[in-house]
């Protein structure tokens, strides 16, 4: 049961509960105070915890080749392997290359990533606040050991992708559809992991912006991807597409955080990969038809036929009514549920993928279970599992099961509009007389 305004509690206890559940005006001070506390914690992490080299040197080696004139993606590689990210990653780390003295000033790089972490945290907190999350959830946004490690001790490109993901969510919540789409597509240009959230972006643009404007924004997103790729296409267009969006890449079993409990033979098998892909598609279709298209309140077949015929499925007044149902809560739930569905059925998750998950789980679990004990318990289980290195069959099982639980929470949770409608129906039902 969630916190309640219990009678008979001492005044200070009631005050704390009211602040924790957003029933007191002082609740608005909780996020900025936590943010300031995490700023100090992040400085301490950089000061006290040794930096661990994983991909930074490889990133700089790849950038060095680009700076020296190489434009064939298949020829750019570093100590950890070939360049396997879209061009926005290369542009972003080229900026860091120059800022950090060709990548040699590691401390400055960590400080820059600390700024990125604090900016991302601020945007995440704004997203949570607009989605009406209670203050007692916010401490979970700053307490992750693994998340601090990913940002300021490893300097992974997932940090930039996660920033643009949550910035896109924030802009969509503010109904800035075009800006949100541009931010999202730049994040996708840094790392293709954001492809997992792309179906939700399309649905949100369709519902919130309308049919023809949605198509125009999607075309603009495609143009951005083309524009950032242009310098590399004349040299080897096929090579760029194959490396930047390499969907068939074979991950190593030794680095996986999920599915280790199945054993290496199953993990590397093609039937397992196809089963995961099939489950991902099925779950996406379920979420799209049952949850994400719910504001349309129209038969699915009719909408599909209209889209195939390139005809708007709604009249202009209907589009406006549908758009009003795309609330900040709906945006947040739709984007994050697409994210966790994709992560659940991913072939392999590495530790840096926690950048996409750590700030998704607390919100989605809270949406279904408003009990703080459940929210904190699930978070603790997830945080423990992602901090086991190397992963074990037990930690991998916890990772997968928490992801599955989060997906179920996202599916069975109801929006504010649904809850209000249910309450209205209940109140309008005639009471039985004896």
DSSP string across 103-130? TT-HHHHHHHHHHHHHHHHHHHHHHHHH
Whether the full predicted model's pTM is greater than 0.85, yes or no, is yes
Contacts by 392-397, CB closer than 8 A, 24 or more apart = 392/260, 393/260, 393/261, 394/261, 395/257, 395/260, 396/256, 396/257, 396/258, 396/259, 396/260, 396/261, 397/261
Maximum C-alpha span of the chain: 87
Instruction: Determine the Cα angle at 253 with ends 155 and 242, to 5°.
Output: 65
Contact at 8 Å (CB) between 276 and 346?
A: yes
By C-alpha distance, which of 400, 408, 358 is closest to 379? 358
Would residue 202 count as lying in a domain?
yes
358: phi then psi, degrees, rounded to nearest 5: -55, -35
Quote the CA–CA distance of 150 and 161 in Å, as a whole number.
Answer: 12
Report if residue 254 sits inside a domain: no
With a cut of 50, list the residues of the chain below it in pLDDT: 1-2, 4, 417, 419-434
State the Cα–Cα distance between residues 87 and 5, nearest whole angstrom: 53
pLDDT of residue 308: 85
Q: What is the pLDDT of residue 376?
A: 96
Q: Give the SS3 label for residue 78.
A: strand
The whole-number pLDDT of residue 314 equals 86
422 part of a folded domain: no
Domain contains 93: yes
Buried b (16+ CB within 10 A) or exposed e, 263-292: eeeebbeeeeeeebeeebeebbeebbeebb
* Residue 186 domain-assigned (yes or no): yes
Q: Are 398 and 382 in contact (CB under 8 A)?
A: yes
**pLDDT reported for residue 1:** 43
Q: Identify which of 247, 231, 245 has the alpha carbon closest to the alpha carbon of residue 188.
A: 245
Locate 183 and state its tokens. Answer: 């931010």
In a domain, 184, yes or no: yes
Residue 255 lies in a domain: no
Question: Would you mind telling me the total number of residues written for the chain in this entry?
Answer: 434
Please check whether residue 258 is in contact with residue 89, taking contact to mean a CB–CB distance below 8 angstroms.
Answer: no
Report whether 327 contacts 306 (CB < 8 A). no
Q: How many helices (H) and strands (E) does the chain have?
A: 21, 2
Round to whole Å and give the CA distance between 281 and 315.
30
| Displacement of CA 56 from its chain's centroid (Å) | 23
Q: Residue 305: which residues within 8 A CB-CB, separation 6 or more?
A: none
Phi then psi for 81, rounded to 5 degrees? 130, -170
Task: Count Cβ atoms below 10 Å from residue 232 Cβ, excluding itself.
Answer: 24
Q: Please indicate, yes or no, if residue 107 is contained in any of the structural domains.
A: yes
> Residue 413: which residues within 8 A CB-CB, separation 6 or more?
333, 364, 367, 368
- Inter-residue contact 412 to 404 (CB < 8 Å): no
d(C-alpha 344, C-alpha 403), whole Å: 6
**pLDDT single digits (tens) 195-230:** 999 999 999 999 999 899 999 999 999 999 999 999
Residue 374 domain boundaries? 11-247+260-414
Q: How many domains does the chain have?
A: 1
Do 262 and 272 touch, CB atoms closer than 8 A? yes
What pLDDT does 300 receive? 81
């Amino acid at each position: 049961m969630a916190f309640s305004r219990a009678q008979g509690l001492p005044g200070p206890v009631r005050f704390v509960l009211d602040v924790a559940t957003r029933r007191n005006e002082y609740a608005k001070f909780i996020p900025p105070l936590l943010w300031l506390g995490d700023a100090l914690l992040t400085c301490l992490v950089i000061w006290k915890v040794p930096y661990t080299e994983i991909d930074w040197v490889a990133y700089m080696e790849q950038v060095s080749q680009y700076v020296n004139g190489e434009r064939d993606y298949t020829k750019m590689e570093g100590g950890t392997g070939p360049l396997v990210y879209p061009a926005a990653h290369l542009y972003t780390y080229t900026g860091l290359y120059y800022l950090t003295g060709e990548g040699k000033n590691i401390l400055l790089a960590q400080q820059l990533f600390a700024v990125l972490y604090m900016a991302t945290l601020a945007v995440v907190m704004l997203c949570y606040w607009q989605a009406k999350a209670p203050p007692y959830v916010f401490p979970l946004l700053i307490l992750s050991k693994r998340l601090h490690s990913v940002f300021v001790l490893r300097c992974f490109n997932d940090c930039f992708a996660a920033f643009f993901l949550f910035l896109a969510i924030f802009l969509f919540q503010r109904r800035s559809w075009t800006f949100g789409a541009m931010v999202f597509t730049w994040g996708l240009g840094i790392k293709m992991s954001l492809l997992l959230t792309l179906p939700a972006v399309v649905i949100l643009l369709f519902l919130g912006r309308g049919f023809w404007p949605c198509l125009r924004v999607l075309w603009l997103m495609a143009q951005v991807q083309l524009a950032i790729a242009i310098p590399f296409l004349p040299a080897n267009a096929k090579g760029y597409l194959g490396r930047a969006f390499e969907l068939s890449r074979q991950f190593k079993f030794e680095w996986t955080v999920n599915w280790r409990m199945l054993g290496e033979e199953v993990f590397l098998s093609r039937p397992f990969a196809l089963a995961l892909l099939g489950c991902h598609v099925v779950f996406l279709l379920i979420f799209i038809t049952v949850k994400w298209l719910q504001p349309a309140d129209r038969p699915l077949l009719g909408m599909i036929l209209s889209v195939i015929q390139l005809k708007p499925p709604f009249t202009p007044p209907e589009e406006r009514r549908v758009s009003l149902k795309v609330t900040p809560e709906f945006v947040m739930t739709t984007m994050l549920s697409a994210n966790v569905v994709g992560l659940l059925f991913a072939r392999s998750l590495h530790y840096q993928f926690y950048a996409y998950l750590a700030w998704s789980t607390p919100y989605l679990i809270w949406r279904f279970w408003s009990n703080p004990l459940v929210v904190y318990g699930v978070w603790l289980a997830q945080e423990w599992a992602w901090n086991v290195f190397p992963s074990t069959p037990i930690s991998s099982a916890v990772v997968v099961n928490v992801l599955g639980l989060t997906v179920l929470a996202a599916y069975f949770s109801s929006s504010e509009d649904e809850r209000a409608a249910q309450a209205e129906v209940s109140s309008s039902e005639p009471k039985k007389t004896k």
